[in-house]
Structure 1
């Protein structure tokens, strides 16, 4: 993948499987990866359910693509999006794709795009099937973007669990240990950047925000009962080591 500033991205939104109120945070998050040169949203615009999207299109330079539902109760949006994605791929128009949907029907598309050497991001809800999540190189859960959403008050309140140390989360610690073993050097330390890359390879949907922290650096610093975190005096390199 090219450097962030040089990367061109095709943003393809399944309007039937995404919420208009989350568009702003999604655009902000995807823009961190590069420049969104193609912006399209797919759906049946004769359907009243698409009304919420209409006022956002011009303001965000998003091209609506009409796709009629040929059979009642059958979603045909996915086929239109997939065909467009393949046209963009063969036209060599971008370096990366971002597919916004919680639908597993895009699993094979994501796999095919990656086979062609392109970077693929996915954006969807936490209910998104693992097959689609794993097919992407990075997957962003929209729930982790709620803090930036002006409508977040509409969301259902999340029940807080009893205050437990983060290190008590066995699934998290198991994932961190596996990633650390992939990223560590001979001196049994791993740079924070290498640890982050290993975490993404293990789980494209891994996000520190899922654990209440805005960055991987903040997450590992919250695990000092299990990890030694060292920042070099010169430069910004941070290394991590599991405590024995």
Structure 2
């Protein structure tokens, strides 16, 4: 059954530069029934978002910031999400934010058997990432998109960025070594006597453990199978249409 999706975007926490990626990814998942973007539209900070509203058919939801130190739009988004849930018109939610305050909302939606996938930047707290069925890192996707575009246009490589004195922002992207270690464990736990495990089953467990995993997070915009296949720790084979993977001894 095709997913019917409520796309809810926290404009005060997400750059409008990601909107095309957001819409594309949501469209791949199913039919977007709701396209709502939340924020205090009286503030100049959201002016860049206003240019995207009509272009992408978004519905802006106004929420005045009556309290300081907290995004009032967070509360409005949560209330709207629950109203949409009880309307029974969708079976999936896409929450676009890097704010961990939405973790409880995601958990609540999944308790009602909703499919919830998230999008945000790599700074997104791991609590929100892991509460979703899947999670896409928008900054990594944008980087991959720009690299692909540059290759297609055969542009010269960009000059190295100047050193930034600001401290490096903490990332919720799981270290690759940790991902590989978990993959080895999953293979061992699900392998047949000959050591081979079904790739479809292995990748299912891996994404449940790390919903935000994708090779582009580590600089490779390729499919996960190809990503692991070229590593010395794993071996892949295909029998008819069924793919198997095992740990190399």
Equivalent residues in 2 for 1:73-84 (5 A)?
73-84=69-80
* Higher mean C-alpha displacement, 47-56 vs 212-221: 212-221
1:149 CA displacement: 5.0
Equivalent residues in 2 for 1:196-211 (5 A)?
196-211=203-218
Equivalent residues in 2 for 1:85-234 (5 A)?
85-146=81-142, 147-148=144-145, 157=161, 169-211=176-218, 212-223=220-231, 225-232=232-239, 234=240
The equivalent residue for 2:40 is: 44
Taking structure 1 as reference, are residues 26 and 172 closer, same or farther at Cα in structure 2, changes over 3 Å only? same
SS of corresponding position for 2:200: helix
SS of corresponding position for 2:67: coil
Equivalent residues in 2 for 1:51-66 (5 A)?
51-66=47-62
SS of corresponding position for 1:113: helix
Q: After superposition, what is the alpha-carbon deviation per residue over 1:49-105, rounded to whole angstroms, capped at 9, x for unaligned?
A: 111111111121111000100023431010000000000111111111010000011
* Higher mean C-alpha displacement, 24-33 vs 111-120: 24-33
Partner Cα separation in structure 1 for residue 212 and residue 225 of structure 2: 17
1:203 CA displacement: 1.1
1:186 CA displacement: 4.6
1:134 CA displacement: 1.2
- Calculate the TM-score normalised by the size of structure 2: 0.84
Aligned residue-pair number: 228
Q: After superposition, what is the alpha-carbon deviation per residue over 1:104-159, rounded to whole angstroms, capped at 9, x for unaligned?
A: 110100000011111111111111111111111111111221122599999x9599
State the Cα RMSD in Å. Answer: 2.5
The equivalent residue for 1:12 is: 8
Partner Cα separation in structure 2 for residue 49 and residue 74 of structure 1: 15
> Which runs of 5 or more structure 2 residues have no equivalent in the other structure?
151-156, 164-174
> Residue 179 of structure 1 contacts residue 202 of structure 1 at CA under 8 Å; is this kept in 2?
no
The equivalent residue for 1:31 is: 27
> Residue 25 of structure 1 contacts residue 148 of structure 1 at CA under 8 Å; is this kept in 2?
no
Q: Which runs of 4+ in 1 moved over 3 A?
A: 149-154, 156-159, 181-187
The equivalent residue for 1:164 is: none
- Calculate the TM-score normalised by the size of structure 1: 0.86
Partner Cα separation in structure 1 for residue 86 and residue 193 of structure 2: 43
SS of corresponding position for 2:136: strand
